Amino acid sequence: MGSLVSQGFDRLFMFCLHDLTSVQSGMDGCERLLAACRNAGLTIAHSRSHRYGSVVRDDLVGTPDEGYELHPRMRAREGEIVVDKWTYGAFASTYLERELRARGVRRILLCGVLTNVCVFATASQAVDRFIPVCLVEDACAAFQTDWHQKALTLINEPQTQPGHKRGCGLYFGEVTQVEKVEAALKDIK
């Protein structure tokens, strides 16, 4: 992580989190990560997901559905990027790539929910645009732990079978933890 920071690491905190109490640990991690990234002066980007006309069950969410607004603990501040997305990933239906490139972002730290849906899709879309991804695993969550773990595996482990060429590196992201990011960003300003 330290070498990434010294290389001008991310300058971005990609955020796509909504109010879902069943994934509270991911929200807590996102809140810590957001604070560390803001303190270090990184570019912050948030994505809000339109619901495609579907209704979110309040009994699953834990609070009345506010639509696609960001959770109050994670609201965007002035100057931070906010995109409204119509696709699972935050790049395909938004101007996010243009905004990031205009600000000189070369890599992203990624967090949010659901790991196996929007976060995974955003990671894949970022790599398709030649923007390396570092997913912060304890700042992400899914409805089930095994879904979260499967997404981490697909992002970070080689996707090869016996017989493939060795060393082809078929994975599309790194994975880290909030504590490591906080330590790496501690002296950056």
pLDDT, block means (10 residues), the chain with 189 residues = 24 45 76 92 86 51 55 85 86 92 93 86 91 92 88 80 56 88 87
- Which residues are CB-contacts of 131 (< 8 A; sequence separation ≥ 6)? 97, 100, 105, 106, 107, 108
Instruction: Please tell me the predicted confidence (pLDDT) of residue 97.
Output: 94
Q: CA–CA separation, 98 vs 29, rounded Å?
A: 27
Instruction: Please tell me the predicted confidence (pLDDT) of residue 15.
Output: 46
Please tell me the CATH code under which domain 2-185 is placed: 3.40.50.850
The token pair at 50 is: 């339109």
Q: Are 81 and 99 contacting, i.e. CB atoms less than 8 angstroms apart?
A: yes
